[in-house]
Chain A
C-alpha cells in the first residue's frame, strides 16, 4: 500500500493545480469583463493585467529548475512546459491588447512605436523571442532538435532580462519602481541560482581534473 506523503500527493495531483493556476488569471479577467469591473479604463487595465501575469508566469517557469533540484522532485520538470506556454499566452494577449485594442491596428502609429520608444522595442523583442520557444515546446520538436533544443531554449535567459527591463523602463519615468523591483529581485535570484550552480560545477570540474593529474 502506498503511504501518503506530501511529495506523492504533489506528484499525483500537482499538475491539476498547475493547470488551474495557469487558467485562473484568464478566467478572472473574463469574470471581471462580464461584471463590468475592468475599471474606467478597461484597455489600460487589460494591458497591465496581462503584462503582469506574463511576468509572473515567467518567474514560475524559471523557478521550476531550482525548486526541482533543491527538493529532489524530478517530476516537477513536467510543469515547466505548461508554465512556459502560459507565460507565452499572456504575453500574446498583452501584445494583442496593445496592438488591436489600444492601437486599433493603426500601423502608422505602431511601426514608429517599435523603434522610437525603447520600452516598446525591448518588450517586443522579449515577445518575439518567446515565439520560437513556444513553437518548439512539443515532445516531437524536442526530439527532432535534440541538443539544439537545449541551446535554443537558453533564450529564456535573455527574455528574463528583457521582460523586466521593459517593465522597468515603463515605470522608471514616474520613479514608481517598487513592484518592478520585486520582480527584478525574484528573477535575479532565479538567474543567480543558475549562475552559481554553473560556477560551482565549473570549479568542481577543474578541481577533479587537478586531482587526476
Chain B
C-alpha cells in the first residue's frame, strides 16, 4: 500500500516481537467481508476508501464531517507498537500508525451530557460481500465510555507497518483500543457519535451472555466456551508447538488504564 510517514512513540509502545506483516494482513476478523480469517484479504478489494468521510456528531458543540485528508493532518502521526488480543484466544503485536482519538474528539467540543462514544462502521452491500450474513446486525456498532475514548492509548488508526491501512485491516480509518478484546476496535468507521446512554454494541446485541460492553482483556473472566487465561500468539517466535502465553490483565496495560475501572466489579461488567 501507499507509504505513510510517522514518528515512533516509544513511550506508548511495547517491546514484544512484532507479528509479521503477512500474518497481520492475512488473518483477519472483518465479518463485513466474510467469516473466515482469510476472507477479508480476498474480499475487501472491493472496498472504496476514497473519498471517505467521517461524521462526528451527537452531543457536541461543533459537529463536523472530516475528510480523510483532514484526518491525515489533524495531528502528527505516530507509530505505536500495541498488543492485540482477540476474544477468540489469539494475539498479535502490531505497529499501528495514528494518533490519540482524543485529538479528534476535542475538535468537536463534547457537551457535559456526553458520557459515551459510539462508533459506526460502513455497511454498504455493494462493497461488502459479507453483509448478507445474519451473524450480526449491520452496520457494525461499537462503543466506549467517554473517558476510555479520551484515554491517550485509544488510537485513531490510519495505517500499520509504515503504510496506509490495508483494506482487510479496516481501511481507511479504524479504532485501536489495546486493553480491550479486538472486536471493540471498530473498522472502516464512517460515523462517531457522542451520546448520553451506553451504546448497544453489535457483539453484545448478538450474544449478550458472551460479549459484554466493556470487554476488557481479563484472564480471570472466562468466555463461556473457553478460558481466557492464556493466548496463542500468531506466528509465535517459539513455534506453534510451543506453550501458549499467559494473558495479562488489561492485556498488559494495567498501569495506564487500571484506574479507570477502580471499584468496578469486572466479573459483572465483563
Contacts and interface: CB of A to CB of B under 8 A. Distances in A.
A43 B236 CA distance: 12
A119 B227 contact: no
Contacts of B134: 175
A40 to B, nearest CB: 4
A106 to B, nearest CB: 8
A109 interface: yes
A104 B235 CA distance: 17
- Residue with the highest number of chain A CB atoms closer than 10 Å, among B134, B222, B225: B225
Size range of the chain B interface in the assembly: 20 to 34
A42 B240 contact: yes
B210 interface: yes
A109 B227 contact: yes
Contact of B210 (A44, A173, A176): A173
B212 to A, nearest CB: 14
Interface string B205-242: 01100100000000000101111011010110000110
Nearest to B229: A109
Contact of A173 (B207, B227, B232, B240): B207
B26 A119 contact: no
A173 B90 contact: no
A16 B135 CA distance: 42
B266 interface: no
A175 B38 contact: no
B240 A104 contact: no
Interface in B171-190: none
Given A113-B227, A175-B134, A41 B37 contact: yes
B244 A104 contact: yes
A168 to B, nearest CB: 13
B76 interface: no
Contacts of A41: 27, 37, 90, 232, 234
Contacts of B139: none
Contact of A174 (B23, B26, B135, B226): B135
B225 A119 contact: yes
A176 B38 contact: no
B35 interface: yes
Interface string B54-77: 000000000000000000000000
A43 B240 contact: yes
A39 B27 contact: yes
Interface in B141-200: none
Nearest to B244: A104
Contacts of B235: 40
Nearest to A104: B243
A101 interface: yes
Interface string A105-141: 0000100110011010000000000000000000000
A40 B232 contact: no
B225 A173 contact: yes
A35 to B, nearest CB: 15
Interface of A: 39-44, 101, 104, 109, 112-113, 116-117, 119, 170, 173-176
Interface of B: 22-23, 26-27, 35, 37-38, 90, 133-135, 206-207, 210, 222, 224-227, 229-230, 232, 234-235, 240-241, 243-244
Given A41-B37, A43-B240, A175-B134, 9 more contacts: A39-B37, A41-B27, A41-B234, A104-B244, A117-B224, A117-B226, A173-B207, A173-B224, A174-B35
19 contacts: A39-B38, A40-B22, A40-B26, A41-B90, A41-B232, A43-B240, A101-B240, A101-B241, A104-B244, A113-B227, A116-B222, A117-B224, A173-B224, A173-B225, A174-B35, A174-B135, A174-B207, A175-B135, A175-B207
